[in-house]
Amino acid sequence: MTDKYPTLSLRERDRRWASIRDLLERSGLDGVVVFGYGRDSADSYITNEVTHSVVLFPRIGDPVLFTGDVPLGRYDEPGARWERWVGDLMIGDSLANLAEAIRERGLDRTALGVVGLTSRFVGDWSGVIPFGEWTRVLALLPEVTWADVSGEYESLALVKSEEEQVLLRRAAQLGEEACAAFVGTVREGANEHEIAAAAFHAIISGGGWTRWPFMLERAGASRFAWNIPEWFGMGGAPHVMRRGDTIGAEIFAFYGGVESQQQIDVSLGEPCALLRELEEVCLESYEAGLAALRPGLRFAELAAVMEEPLHRSRTWNTGPMVQTVSPLYNSATRLHPEVDPALARLERLPKGKALDGDFEITVGHAFALEPNALRDGKRVCVGGTVLLTADGPEELNTIPNRLNVVA
């Protein structure tokens, strides 16, 4: 490892593999098949690579990686610099090879887990395995008893080890640099494309990456929607910043496959009284969440603490007030949209989404504290990544933790 470009060691590999074997023992399973097709490539927890492949992890023995084609990156000069965690490869028809490997190991009449039939990741709730592929797996291995352990497997990855915390801190540092670049590019006459590009450049030039949805971003004098900007998918001219505008973004800064998040919000010129009011709601929520965060607290309890200022303020939210990183659990969204006069034009108010799951918080869990408050066509969202350590919450970001003002 180096301070700027840390990597994971074989000790971390062994720790992860041991945690998976413990899961298999607890569940009475002889192995697990992990489909890494989703945004967060579940197979990478085993392989430390992002190949979106299939992995067989037996309770006894080493895992096997199934790829459709030769992974050329393992064999050329640039690829030789990286240590590979899984050396057993089967190349070609991944599902046929999977069935063959399961039969060779005498696992074709046992109970096996599967990861990918469902998921906690946003947008992947119905799983990432195509219907045709899973139908074929069932036909190839008719005597296997399958158990969906997606949630349990993802929960292993949710708790960050000491080595993973190093990568998380580096990811958050890149997110902090992205926020600085974002704020530093805001000026009268600047367009939202170049402001967003500055953030991306800071992440990638620092050795990081980003994943779908890459960035949520919106700019203008009045805004209450929150999603990927229309120009991502539709093209068209960017918004050009004028005094009185705000621009906000949700940044997904990754390093070494570990995700951090930052909610940067910038006002061009002194914010109006309503923006300051919304900021105060967000700051109260953030500080309350930070003060409450401790081992043994439940995620639902943390969410309730952070939602309390929203309930008292005649504001509403478009995104969760808090979520885990990587994002597996989300607090409720679109609470109290009926308070907003700007939504009076809508035939129906936005449909809210309740708290998404619950768990007991432990040391090693990381969160995006991202309180947001809206009313009358104005929106403020602040916050960054917070890691719960043995010494308490560790704030990994500072710049996005309040509304930034560019004079």
Structural domains of the chain, ranges and CATH numbers in brackets: 10-158 (3.40.350.10), 162-406 (3.90.230.10)
Q: What is the mean pLDDT of residues 388-395?
A: 98
3-class secondary structure, 196: helix
The encoded tokens of residue 294 equal 């401790």
Quick one: pLDDT at residue 2? 61
pLDDT digits (tens, 9 = 90+) for 258-296: 999 999 999 999 999 999 999 999 999 999 999 999 999
Integer Cα distance of 395 and 407 in angstroms: 27
Q: What is the pLDDT of residue 328?
A: 86
- 174-227 pLDDT per residue, tens: 999 999 999 999 999 999 999 999 999 999 999 999 999 999 999 999 999 999
From residue 140, give the alpha-carbon distance in Å to each of 14, 95, 103, 144. 31, 8, 10, 10
- Rounded average pLDDT over 132-151: 98
Average pLDDT (293-319) is 97
């530093």: which residue's tokens? 184
- Amino acid at residue number 234: M
CA 357 – CA 364 distance, rounded (Å)? 18
For position 343, what pLDDT does the model report?
A: 95
Q: Between residues 297 and 125, which one has the greater pLDDT?
A: 297
| 61-87 residue pLDDT tens | 999 999 999 999 999 999 999 999 999
Report the range of poorest mean pLDDT among 2-11, 17-26, 267-276, 328-337: 2-11
Given a cut of 80, whether residue 256 has pLDDT beyond it is yes
So what's the pLDDT on residue 180?
Answer: 98
CB-CB contact of 141 with 363 (8 Å): no
pLDDT of res. 3: 81
Look at residue 121 in the predicted model and tell me its pLDDT.
84
Predicted TM-score of the model (pTM): 0.96
CA distances from 406 to 162, 242, 243, 277 (A): 37, 11, 9, 18
pLDDT reported for residue 120: 86
